[in-house]
Amino acid sequence: MNVLRQEVRVTFGYPVHFTEDVFDPGNPVLRTVLSSVSDPPPSQTIFVVDAGVLAAHRGLVERIEAYCARHADAIALAGPVLEVPGGEQVKNDSSHLADIHRAIQTAALCRHSYVVAIGGGAVLDVVGYAAATAHRGVRLVRVATTVLSQDDSAVGVKNGINAYGKKNYFGTFAPPFAVINDAAFLSTLSDRDWRAGLAEAVKAALIRDAPFFDELERDAARLVERDAEAMRHAVHRSAALHLAHIAGGDPFELGTSRPLDFGHWAAHKLETLTDNRLRHGEAVSIGIALDCTYARLLGYLSEPEWDRILNLLAALRLPLYAPELTEHLTTADHPRCVLQGLREFREHLGGQLTIMLLRSIGNPFDVHEIDADVMIRSVDVLKDAAEARPDVAAGREVPL
């Protein structure tokens, strides 16, 4: 047999900036990012903005235009600012992806040009997918505007859209050129969205950093009361933990272990089952609580630590249960049974089923089988635990 073998090594690097008022003409961060390589200036750039961000920050389009005009020697605005819907709506309708592709083509962007995406995680996902697939990769700058995107999704390497009723069915692994976390955008979030993103911080603490979990317990009241300094610390630490895992782990998910997907097999299914009534972070909170309950019933996680985890989620006013968990629970092959999320999770990630559980806070391990009967018991136990904690929406719809 005559075989030629090739090995390719590529090193990716990108900065994550923490700033405030990124479009203040005196703020140098965006200018620095867009002129950080030796291409001839000015950098050809288009902006795609979350409609919810535009509604909350009147005059943002004019501020973007004024910033580019002030820094015209470094930044060339190559097309009008494009507005797209926020939330899962933008990922469920492929016409928005087509609009972004069209804007890139109309602006005649090349691989050394920039697409600046401004919004929450869903908008960053779809704009990232568009940028990664135009010319096989236009430079992407993410300006994250929600807690969840700043502490988790924006700093990662995944992009995608939804299809066939499944989360992120189409997508790419493509690192951004840079990430900018602007704390000023967080001030206009609803209380619900302010809190929801903290589920990913709890997740990161549980799988990587027990002292950070202690800090979240200590600061829970301040976080719920919208203390800006407490939130800046939580976002920064969570982002750092996510980056550390990506750098030292398996960023393009070639293996089967997915630590950053702790709690996500149920979360992704719940988002679909609730027609996205649940925010991603809220679904992750329930998914974390469910897998921790399962670990407790199997004797891996002690009851005191299980209590601490559920109590922290409750203290952060995150949900522990949703009625959709119980629907069709004993009919495993029903498409609306939450246990179908295990099959979809394995299919999406590939290889053998791998679910992360906890032996203790900060001490995770992988399992490759889930006992359906024990998981069903876990749902019942979790429902009772949620109803015993009046601070969360136990068995009720999360208030809008």
Q: Cα-flanking dihedrals φ and ψ of residue 167, to 5°?
A: -70, 135
Is the CATH number of domain 244-387 1.20.140.10?
Answer: no
Please write the tens of the pLDDT for every residue from 85-123: 999 999 999 999 999 999 999 999 999 999 999 999 999
Write down the mean pLDDT value for the chain.
93
pLDDT band at 350 (very low <50, low <70, confident <90, very high): confident
pLDDT band at 396 (very low <50, low <70, confident <90, very high): very low
pLDDT band at 270 (very low <50, low <70, confident <90, very high): very high
CA atoms in the 13 A half-sphere facing the CB of 99: 18
**What are the tokens at 296?**
């407790």
Please tell me the predicted confidence (pLDDT) of residue 389. Answer: 85
Q: Other CB atoms closer than 10 Å to residue 304's CB: what's the count?
A: 7
Token pair 């549980």: residue: 206
pLDDT band at 391 (very low <50, low <70, confident <90, very high): low
| Segment 180-204 mean pLDDT | 97
Please tell me the predicted confidence (pLDDT) of residue 46. Answer: 98
Please write the tens of the pLDDT for every residue from 127-153: 999 999 999 999 999 999 999 999 999
- The better pLDDT of the pair 222, 251 is held by 222
Domain-by-domain residue ranges, the chain? 16-188, 244-387
pLDDT band at 317 (very low <50, low <70, confident <90, very high): very high
Task: Please tell me which of 132-141, 268-277, 387-396 the model is most confident about, judged by mean pLDDT.
Answer: 132-141
Give the DSSP H/E element, type plus range, for residue 26.
none
**What are the tokens at 137?**
């990769």
The radius of gyration of the chain's CA atoms, rounded to the nearest angstrom, is 21
- Between the two ends of the chain, the Cα-to-Cα distance in Å is 64
pLDDT band at 267 (very low <50, low <70, confident <90, very high): very high
Q: What percent of the chain has pLDDT over 90?
A: 85
CA distance 204 to 341: 22
| Segment 305-315 mean pLDDT | 97
**16-188 and 244-387, same CATH topology:** no
| Segment 373-385 mean pLDDT | 97
Contacts of 95 (CB under 8 A, 6+ apart): none
Please tell me the predicted confidence (pLDDT) of residue 394. Answer: 44
Please tell me the predicted confidence (pLDDT) of residue 257. Answer: 65
Pick the CATH number of 16-188 from 3.40.50.1970, 3.30.470.30, 3.40.50.2000, 3.40.50.2020: 3.40.50.1970
pLDDT band at 397 (very low <50, low <70, confident <90, very high): very low
Please write the tens of the pLDDT for every residue from 31-60: 999 999 988 899 999 999 999 999 999 999
Question: Is pLDDT at 294 greater than 60 in this prediction?
Answer: yes
Min mean pLDDT across 209-213, 292-296, 332-336 is at 332-336
SS3 42: coil
Question: Is pLDDT at 249 greater than 80 in this prediction?
Answer: no
Please tell me the predicted confidence (pLDDT) of residue 255. Answer: 67
244 touches 208 (CB < 8 A)? yes
| Segment 263-285 mean pLDDT | 95
| Segment 223-244 mean pLDDT | 97
| Segment 289-316 mean pLDDT | 98
Contacts of 333 (CB under 8 A, 6+ apart): 340
Please tell me the predicted confidence (pLDDT) of residue 252. Answer: 77
| Segment 207-214 mean pLDDT | 97
